Amino acid sequence: MIVVAVVGPTATGKSDLALDLAEALSTPGPPAEIVNADAYQLYRGMDVGTAKVPPHERRGIVHHQLDVLDPLEEASVARYQASARADLDAIEARGARAVVVGGSGLYVRALLDRMDFPGTDPQVRAELEERAEREGRRALHAELERQDPEAAARIGPTNTRRIVRALEVIAITGLPYSATLPREEYVRPTVQLGLDCDRAVLDARVAARVERMRRDGLVDEVLRLARIDDAGVVRGMGRTASRAVGYAEILDLVGAAAGPVLHEGDEDAAFEAITANTRRLARKQMGWFGRDPRVHWLDAGSPTLLDDALAIVRAADAGTLPGPGEGPVRRSLGS
C-alpha cells in the first residue's frame, strides 16, 4: 500500500492534515497509522516546544516514533531509519496504511529514499580533525575536491564537520562520498504532500504558535527538562536536544541571567528570538522540500485542503498521478 508523507515548513498544519488523512483513509478501508519524522518529537518530555500532538488529541490513531529517546541521548538519523522502516514494515504487514508526517528533511529522506549510512572509524576521523586544525579546513576541502568533485561542490569549504565526514567515508569505503548521498528513489511506493502558504501568512502562523507555546508553559518545560544545577550546568538535556529551536533560546537566557529564573523582560527577549529563529527554520525547510520535484504542493489555508490531499492520494493509489516532469508543474507558493 502506498505510503503517504505530509511534509513542509513548520507551522503549516502538517500534524492536523496527517490526522485528517488518517481518519479519512480509514473510513472505509484499512486503518491508517502515523509515523513521526520530526527529529525533536522523538524526545520524551519535549512536548510544548515541538508542538507534539497530545495523546488525548490523537483521535485513537496509532502513532510511531514519538517519545522514543531520552533528552540526554543524541539523535541518530541512521538509528531512526532502521527503527522507522521497521514500523513501516509492521504497518504494511498488518494491512494498514502509513502516514508519515514531519519537517525534518533528512529524516524524511532517510525513511523514504534510498540512503546509505557508512560506518565510522574513530582513528581516521581523529586524524582528519587534527589535519583540519593544523592545515586548515580549506586544505581538506581541496583534497575532497580532488577525490570527489561532486561531494566538494555540495559541501561548502567552511563546513569542517561535513568535509571531515566525507573524507572519512572515502578512506574507509574506497568509494566516493557522493555515492552514499540520498537519491530521489523511494524504497517503497510513496506520495508526498507538501504544505505551504504565503510568506506573510506563514510568519503570522509562526508568531501565533510561539505565543501559544508561551501560554502553554514552554519555559517551565525547558527548565524541568534541563535540570540546571547550582553551577548553572544543564544536566538533563544532551547536545542535540538542547539545540532545538525554543529550547536553545531559553537556555541561553537562563545562562545570561545566571540562574534558573527568568524575569518578564528576559522572557520577552527569549520568545522574540524563538519567533525569529522559527521563521528562519521554516525558510530552510521550504528550501529543502522545495528542491524535491516529487512533492505535490497544497495551500495550507485552502478550505478544500483535505479533499485536495485525498484526491492526490487516490490518484496515486490508482496509478494515475503524474510523475515529476509530467503533467502541470506544481510549485510551492513560496517558490
Task: Write out the DSSP string of 153-221.
Answer: HHS-TT-HHHHHHHHHHHHHHSS-GGGGS-EEEESS-EEEEEEE--HHHHHHHHHHHHHHHHHTTHHHH
Distance of CA 95 to the CA centre of its chain: 27
Helix axes 137-147, 160-173, angle to 10 degrees: 40
Between CA 190 and CA 155 the distance in angstroms is 28
The per-residue b/e assignment along 249-263, b for 16 or more CB within 10 angstroms, e otherwise, is bbbebbeeeeebebe
Looking only at the bridges linking them, the beta strands covering 113-114 and 97-101 are unpaired
Between CA 79 and CA 96 the distance in angstroms is 23
Burial environment of residue 55 by CB neighbours within 10 A (0 to 12, 13 to 18, 19 or more): exposed
10 labelled as ligand-binding?
A: yes
| C-alpha distances in Å from residue 6, one per residue of 33, 147, 283 | 13, 37, 17
Between CA 276 and CA 280 the distance in angstroms is 6
15 labelled as ligand-binding?
A: yes
71 labelled as ligand-binding?
A: no
What does DSSP assign to residue 63?
E
9 labelled as ligand-binding?
A: yes
Task: Write out the DSSP string of 262-328.
Answer: --HHHHHHHHHHHHHHHHHHHHHHHHHHHT-TTEEEEETT-TTHHHHHHHHHHHHHHT-S--TTSSS
284 labelled as ligand-binding?
A: no
246 labelled as ligand-binding?
A: no
275 labelled as ligand-binding?
A: no
Torsion angles phi and psi, residue 23, rounded to 5: -65, -50
Please answer whether residues 189 and 15 qualify as being in contact, where contact means their C-beta atoms are separated by less than 8 angstroms.
no
Q: Which residue matches cell numbers 518529537?
A: 41
Between CA 214 and CA 289 the distance in angstroms is 28
Binding site feature residues for ATP: 8-15
Binding site feature residues for substrate: 10-15
Binding site feature residues: 8-15
